[in-house]
Structure 1
Amino acid sequence: MQYCFVEGSFADLARELAEYLHVEVGDNLDANLKDEVLKKLVTASAGLNSYPEKEFTAAYNLLVYLVMQSPSVNMFLPRICENLSKPITSAPVNGAGLALNVLTTIFNLLQPDNEVRSNVFTAILRLVKNSGNFETLRPQLKKLDTWIEEWDLDEEDQRKLFGQLADVAEENGEQGESYQYVLKALRTFESAEYSSKEAQDLSLRALKAALVSTTHFDFHDLTSLPTIQALSDDHSEYSELLEIFSEKELEDYNDFRDENEDWLETEGLDNSVLHRKMRLLTLASVAASTNSKELEYKRIAKALQIPVEDVEMWVIDVIRAGLIEGKLSQQKQVFLIHRTTYRVFGEKQWREVATRLDTWRSSLRAVKEVISRERQQAEAQKERELHEAERKIAGASGMGAGRRTIGGRENMVEMGTD
């Protein structure tokens, strides 16, 4: 939370700021027409962008303090935000930071449910986009869902806000963040709008970003969106390409590329980028579909259409991409699979899981039978050893009793002799 600490009455402070801005407000102050005074001050505040840098923050804090005392505060703040969004000519290096500080102060002084707060936030986004200060904005975005609820934004306004955030993130090189905000914007469309131009433009933006991204490999977030599904009517090539990257393999992409080479170039889709990504996805699919935990180099080379000597390089790349886990065995010329990722999980994958579960169940049943037999044999052996021990103990007890009787008779004989 940020605060403005200013001392003095409204009239004294307004007169001081008016003199600084070279504005005449005496008559309105005498008549106690505060809003008229503020109109002149706010209009003149545009000139602060050319005032000395060291005086900029203090002057604006004073203006904000005066405006916040008006019951018509929402009438003045949009104009202030507009002025702050323009270049601070007196501070070409620090100007964006100075304006951002003032806007942040205004944002924090407003009540959470004040509708103007969204306008202030929009002005902050414009500044961040132009200045490249995305890192200063990132921590605050955790509260975005709460703000949207407090501002009671409808779907259209939410979509506009998400679009602005996507633009800001993209401008600052945050492609992943930008992509996520485009997806959020796409989720705001109603069923009647799925095929609208706005929906299609956003859908194509998201799809292109996902296709060329070097880190995005799971396309389920796109295939599940109705707006993306609606592309099949007017953008069939994109729909086909999405299907290939979602669940098909390199050979399918090569066929598509041969048939649509001009289209790929027109759409600005780099074939080398797509081809490399498709190889990584194909290797993930091959690893996921193998029944054993060993994948031969030759099979990988055939699926990726590469020489065997390049297999290890591609396996390392797909491990770095997080699609599979395992280790290479150069001696055996196999890739030992530890974990795989399904690109799509449908009926075929459920059947594979069912088959593996049946195999594991059979294996566990066999292990259980072996353990049961070993346990029975161990118990039988233990029982035999116990009986043998008891027999030996009983035999030993009988022999001891016989010797004592004989000894007694001997003693009696000896005693009789005496």
Structure 2
Amino acid sequence: MAVTATQQAQPQLVCLDSTFEELALEMAECLHITDDIKPLVEKSQKEEVLSKLVQSSAALNAVPEKDYTAASNLMTHLVLQSQDPRRHLPALCGNFAKPITTSPHNGVGLSLNALTTVFNLLPADNPIRARVFMEILKFLKRHGMFETLRPYLPHLEQWNETWGTDDEFQREMYEEISDIAAEAGFGEESYRYILKALRSFDSDDKEELSSEEAQNLAIRAIRTVLLSNSHYLFQDLRGIPCVEALSDSHPIYYQLLEIFAEQDLEDFSDFNEEHEGWLEKQDLDHDKLYRKMRLLTFASLAAATPSREIPYAKIVKALRIPEEEVEMWTIDTIRAGLVQGKLSQQRKVLLVHKVTYRVFGTKQWQELSTRVDNWKSTLSTVLDTLLQGRAEVKAQQERDAQDVERKVAQSSGAQSGRGGGGRYQGRQHKERSENAD
């Protein structure tokens, strides 16, 4: 499989000096059908020759390992000489997808190489490539080879645009990829491609949205996300038209999705009472869902607490747990990425630093508005305190300056008084001296 034309590996398939007839007879000999092919070759019945060779190509899975690549390459080269390769490629790819029996260890790899050789030899804009790619997907699915597929996933949209594939083909492709990812244990990747498949339905076609295919895929998406160990937000799923259509065709599934999207543990308990035994019939793990609902309820409690300080008692009541389990559930909620905060064991409160909103609607806007008003009030109080403190400091500075000026003035007056008395006494002494003379 190639990402771009410049990256395609062009295998050395055959000697280009050989004619089609010579190569066809060589292939017939490998498949042990020379007697059937020779008369057709002599009559220059090219398409009949290819049909016969492709029909017998299943025998390739019994050739020795060392000969398989050369034989499959030759077979591919011959088929691509057809006026209409689409007639032959599906059957050929189906036979290539059967690993050779002579190599238990390398058979899967050899088969994959044969399939990707077909893919790479086709022009990048050839629509036949799409069908070959689908055969490769089915092969990877059978053998659990998601890691082999992963590097090419970013190019799917470009390829589909180039090939001109329709919504139905793309939906089938996304479902196959989702299955491959799920079987390999990549739940988030699997869910992402289920969403892509769901979005391929025409949002304006109510009949298509309510079709059995659309509804089954929507239910599969809900089951996947509910049982996921890492997915806790559901808004992306709720906004898809064929999921919304479940409210009419499968109201219980839709009700359950709504509970996990924005309601709490009490609502989930009420659901179980109302639909007793339904989860078990649908093979949905009650304990797993109950645990997930507790984590989501914890997140909602944190989001709805303006003070961002949650007493242990509130957590106990909302999650229906004993107080000694509060710290454990707090840690689990933090690990799930729903809340960030710090426990104060002395005060028995959770100090919330950050919280993930499960849904952001009118109620959440109102809560945010309340919280902003609280912040404004707090900041206003802080500002008033700062301004008051600043005014008091300034007043004190002015009083201190006045005290300094007063002391300086008093000091200057005292010095002036001492200086004047000395001169007066000097004059008196002089006058007494003169009188004495």
**CA 1:75–1:391: 2 relative to 1, 3 Å:** farther
The CA distance in 2 between the partners of 1:88 and 1:384, in whole Å, is: 101
Match of 1:84 in 2: 96
- Aligned match for 1:186, one of 183, 190, 198: 198
The CA distance in 2 between the partners of 1:106 and 1:279, in whole Å, is: 52
Code of the residue aligned with 1:321 in structure 2: it is: A
The farther-off stretch of 178-187 and 316-325 is 178-187
Code of the residue aligned with 2:17 in structure 1: it is: S
Deviation of 1:381 (Å): 7.3
Match of 2:121 in 1: 109
List per-residue Cα deviations over 1:353-401 (Å, max 9, x = no partner): 11111222233334344445555666777788899999999999xx9xx
Code of the residue aligned with 1:86 in structure 2: it is: K
- Aligned match for 1:9, one of 13, 17, 36: 17
Number of residue pairs aligned between Structure 1 and Structure 2: 402
Q: What secondary structure, in the 3-state scheme, does the structure 1 residue paired with 2:306 have?
A: coil
- Aligned match for 1:316, one of 315, 331, 337: 331
The CA distance in 1 between the partners of 2:63 and 2:405, in whole Å, is: 108
Q: What secondary structure, in the 3-state scheme, does the structure 1 residue paired with 2:88 have?
A: helix
Code of the residue aligned with 2:154 in structure 1: it is: K
Q: CA RMSD in A?
A: 2.9
TM-score with structure 1 setting the length: 0.87
Deviation of 1:168 (Å): 2.2
Q: Which runs of 5+ in 2 are unaligned?
A: 1-7, 420-437
Q: What secondary structure, in the 3-state scheme, does the structure 2 residue paired with 1:261 have?
A: coil
Match of 1:214 in 2: 229
**CA 1:234–1:389: 2 relative to 1, 3 Å:** same
Deviation of 1:102 (Å): 1.4
- Aligned match for 1:68, one of 61, 75, 80: 80
Contact 2:98 2:111 in 1 (8 A): no
The CA distance in 2 between the partners of 1:209 and 1:160, in whole Å, is: 18
- Aligned match for 2:111, one of 99, 107, 121: 99
The CA distance in 1 between the partners of 2:211 and 2:86, in whole Å, is: 34
Match of 1:415 in 2: none
Match of 1:18 in 2: 28
The CA distance in 2 between the partners of 1:378 and 1:102, in whole Å, is: 86
Deviation of 1:17 (Å): 2.8
Deviation of 1:126 (Å): 1.2
The CA distance in 1 between the partners of 2:373 and 2:185, in whole Å, is: 48
**CA 1:172–1:385: 2 relative to 1, 3 Å:** same
Say yes or no: does 1:130 pair with 2:142: yes
Contact 2:306 2:370 in 1 (8 A): no
Match of 1:325 in 2: 340
Deviation of 1:75 (Å): 2.9
Q: What's the % identity of the aligned pairs?
A: 50
The farther-off stretch of 22-31 and 88-97 is 22-31
Q: 1:333-352 alignment to 2 at 5 Å?
A: 333-352=348-367
The CA distance in 2 between the partners of 1:388 and 1:10, in whole Å, is: 115
Say yes or no: does 1:300 pair with 2:315: yes
**CA 1:311–1:233: 2 relative to 1, 3 Å:** same
Code of the residue aligned with 1:4 in structure 2: it is: P
The CA distance in 2 between the partners of 1:10 and 1:76, in whole Å, is: 22
Code of the residue aligned with 1:72 in structure 2: it is: D
Match of 2:166 in 1: 154
The farther-off stretch of 320-329 and 37-46 is 37-46
Match of 1:244 in 2: 259
The CA distance in 2 between the partners of 1:32 and 1:378, in whole Å, is: 108
List per-residue Cα deviations over 1:212-260 (Å, max 9, x = no partner): 1121110111211121111111212112111111111111111111221
Code of the residue aligned with 1:41 in structure 2: it is: L
Q: What secondary structure, in the 3-state scheme, does the structure 1 residue paired with 2:230 have?
A: coil
Deviation of 1:329 (Å): 1.8
Match of 1:407 in 2: none
The farther-off stretch of 232-241 and 316-325 is 232-241
Q: What secondary structure, in the 3-state scheme, does the structure 2 residue paired with 1:40 have?
A: helix
The CA distance in 1 between the partners of 2:403 and 2:49, in whole Å, is: 113
Code of the residue aligned with 1:323 in structure 2: it is: L
Contact 1:4 1:65 in 2 (8 A): no
The CA distance in 2 between the partners of 1:386 and 1:68, in whole Å, is: 101
The CA distance in 2 between the partners of 1:367 and 1:328, in whole Å, is: 26
Q: What secondary structure, in the 3-state scheme, does the structure 2 residue paired with 1:295 have?
A: strand
Code of the residue aligned with 2:116 in structure 1: it is: T
Q: Which runs of 5+ in 1 are unaligned?
A: 404-418
Deviation of 1:85 (Å): 2.2
The farther-off stretch of 352-361 and 63-72 is 63-72
Match of 1:200 in 2: 215
Contact 2:303 2:355 in 1 (8 A): yes
The CA distance in 1 between the partners of 2:346 and 2:275, in whole Å, is: 42
Match of 2:424 in 1: none
TM-score with structure 2 setting the length: 0.83
